[in-house]
Structure 1
Amino acid sequence: MLILLLIGLLAGTVGSLVGLGGGIIIVPSLLFLASADPERFGGITPAVAVGTSMLLIILTALSSTLSYARQKRVDFRGGFTFFLASGPGAFVGALLPRYLQSDEFLALFGVLMIIVSWMLRLSERGKRRSIRWHVVRTVTDEEGRETEYGWHLGIALPVSFAVGVISGLFGIGGGSLMVPMMILLFRFPPHMATATSMFIIFLSAVTGSVSHLIQGNVHVWSALFLAPGAWLGGRIGAWISSRLSGGQLVKVLRVALLLMAVHLILDGLGVW
């Protein structure tokens, strides 16, 4: 019980802080427990671990979204727009684990995460050109500086659908691509990108969880004890985020992406 509570707390905190959802911690942790203690966790298969993770992501994302909303950092309009594509994608992705053997894809996705982390580093140094978006928004930070961002529907919708598929397939929350997409393509301020990502993840996780529940891919006993930590972690992550600058938050995100990449590559190569 204590181990599950701590796993939920860690996953919720990290997932909320960088807008990744926390599934990258919950899924491997449940699979490790299944191998270490088959008597209690023997029913946890990879598909069940993903389904249970998706259910817990709902709590983490809802908790952090409420906290971020109080900080006025959630772009609900933009988030709902992206969800129009990522929601159906999450439902499709949740149907794939039983049909897809994707070790090679895991490793390739890990390499993609390294590239995305590198691109985030370059974006901090490069000069920004003026871009015409379909939707333009302006936000003012605590120091009174205005930042303009926006999005193209022709780019946002297909990329969001792909993010939703990945979210449902691997139970990683989808933010691993959603946050960099918003920062790199649409110039969301880092704090707003992570906050809005958690709102999108909440909506997508609800959709994906329906599919997993229908298939019976949820370990209810584990979910019950992971839930309190996931909820509390979502609030803690949002609180820590409010204490970081935009540059610091991007650095934390880059480290999280690199750690995720290492995990996916090793998992895809069968190292663990």
Structure 2
Amino acid sequence: MEWLSLVVIGLIAGTLGSLMGLGGGIIVVPALMLLSGYISILVGVTPQVAVGTSLLIMIFTGLSSTLAYIKQKKVDFISGSIFLVGSIPGALFGVYLNKGIDVSSFLIYFGFFIIIVSFILMVREHLKPIKVGNKGIKREYVNELGETIHYGFSPWLAIPISFIVGMLSGLFGIGGGSLMVPAMILLFGFPAHLAVATSMFMIFFSAISSSISHIVLGNVDWLYALALIPGAWIGGKLGAQIGQRLKSDTLIMILRIFLVIIGARLVWQGMTIV
């Protein structure tokens, strides 16, 4: 029965991760850490194992949801590939930083990081995307209503931002989507659905690079992974289908609420450990 709970966690993580472009790590990592005191098979889980296992799961969530989003024609491969130039090296650097972090600090930093992102999304309507110069990448997207939306970015700005996102991915095991999706929406004017789909495309590749490093370091629990992967794969496809039926504003509202709840819970637990 306890192993079944991991399958359910994988399903929830895959669904919500795919729906909001977060990759699912934002569910798997807190779940493994928070439930370690209640489920016997999770006793003794360290932040390193939680992150390493989460990143391995995100390979499957990322692939599953990306295939679904490709069918919906919502993945911007050109933009995603440019962002990966920064996010993959950043992910490897984040893995290095993860080695020395303790449990209480991990939970507190992770929680505050998530809460900050949620507040940034709250004021997104008052922020204007960064103007793209003549040398920037300019893109356009036709939404379901037939409206053409223009967006773009400068690679010289996008690559450093994606490096930071990748670093946080490797450090916290969250796939980077919790920061990359808001960055694409707020800074570069991406439509919400396109940002989510492109984020999952990036997460697939960045998760591969960072999970290999965690495997080498022995930070992956293969039994946990085998229990989490089936639900994560199904959830990745399910989240993409649900997202197709939601309006952009609804999608962002769900993301904000979810981030605040998870962030506050992690900060509280981290402070009680100190």
TM-score, reference length from structure 1: 0.91
What are the within-5 Å matches in structure 2 for residues 179-198 of structure 1? 179-198=181-200
Q: Check if 1:160 corresponds to 2:154.
A: no
Question: Residue 232 of structure 1 corresponds to which residue in structure 2?
Answer: 234
Question: Residue 72 of structure 1 corresponds to which residue in structure 2?
Answer: 73
Question: Residue 52 of structure 1 corresponds to which residue in structure 2?
Answer: 53
| 1:143, distance to aligned residue in structure 2 (A) | 0.9
- Decide which of 27, 30, 39 is 1:28's aligned counterpart: 30
Q: Distance in 2 between matches of 1:103 and 1:33?
A: 15
Q: Give the partner amino acid of 2:132.
A: R
CA contact (8 A) 1:90 1:168 kept: yes
Question: Residue 131 of structure 1 corresponds to which residue in structure 2?
Answer: 131
What are the within-5 Å matches in structure 2 for residues 95-106 of structure 1? 95-101=96-102, 103-104=104-105
Rate the CA distance shift 1:103–1:155 in 2: closer, same or farther, 3 A: farther
Q: Distance in 2 between matches of 1:202 and 1:152?
A: 23
Query: SS of 1:149's equivalent?
Result: strand
Q: Distance in 1 between matches of 2:86 and 2:103?
A: 23
Question: Residue 93 of structure 2 corresponds to which residue in structure 1?
Answer: 92
- Decide which of 132, 136, 148 is 2:150's aligned counterpart: 148
| 1:255, distance to aligned residue in structure 2 (A) | 1.6
CA contact (8 A) 2:65 2:200 kept: yes
| 1:62, distance to aligned residue in structure 2 (A) | 0.7
| 1:263, distance to aligned residue in structure 2 (A) | 3.2
Q: Distance in 2 between matches of 1:112 and 1:138?
A: 31
Moved more, 131-140 or 212-221: 131-140
Structure 1 unmatched ranges of 5 or more = none
Count of aligned pairs = 270
Q: Distance in 2 between matches of 1:37 and 1:255?
A: 27
Q: Distance in 1 between matches of 2:97 and 2:48?
A: 9
Rate the CA distance shift 1:129–1:78 in 2: closer, same or farther, 3 A: closer
Question: Residue 254 of structure 2 corresponds to which residue in structure 1?
Answer: 252
Q: Distance in 1 between matches of 2:113 and 2:36?
A: 29
CA RMSD of aligned residues (A): 2.2
Rate the CA distance shift 1:152–1:143 in 2: closer, same or farther, 3 A: same
Moved more, 89-98 or 258-267: 258-267
Q: Distance in 1 between matches of 2:105 and 2:219?
A: 23
Structure 2 unmatched ranges of 5 or more = none
Rate the CA distance shift 1:30–1:114 in 2: closer, same or farther, 3 A: closer
Q: Give the partner amino acid of 1:241.
A: G
Rate the CA distance shift 1:116–1:222 in 2: closer, same or farther, 3 A: closer
| 1:253, distance to aligned residue in structure 2 (A) | 1.7
Task: Show CA shifts across 1:38-89 (max 9, x none).
Answer: 4x34463221111111100110111001101110111111111111111111
Q: Give the partner amino acid of 1:54.
A: L
Q: Distance in 2 between matches of 1:121 and 1:230?
A: 28
Moved more, 159-168 or 178-187: 159-168
| 1:246, distance to aligned residue in structure 2 (A) | 1.2
| 1:144, distance to aligned residue in structure 2 (A) | 0.9
Q: Distance in 1 between matches of 2:112 and 2:232?
A: 28
Indicate the percent of aligned positions where both proteins have the same amino acid: 49
Q: Distance in 2 between matches of 1:130 and 1:220?
A: 43
CA contact (8 A) 1:44 1:219 kept: no
Query: SS of 2:22's equivalent?
Result: coil
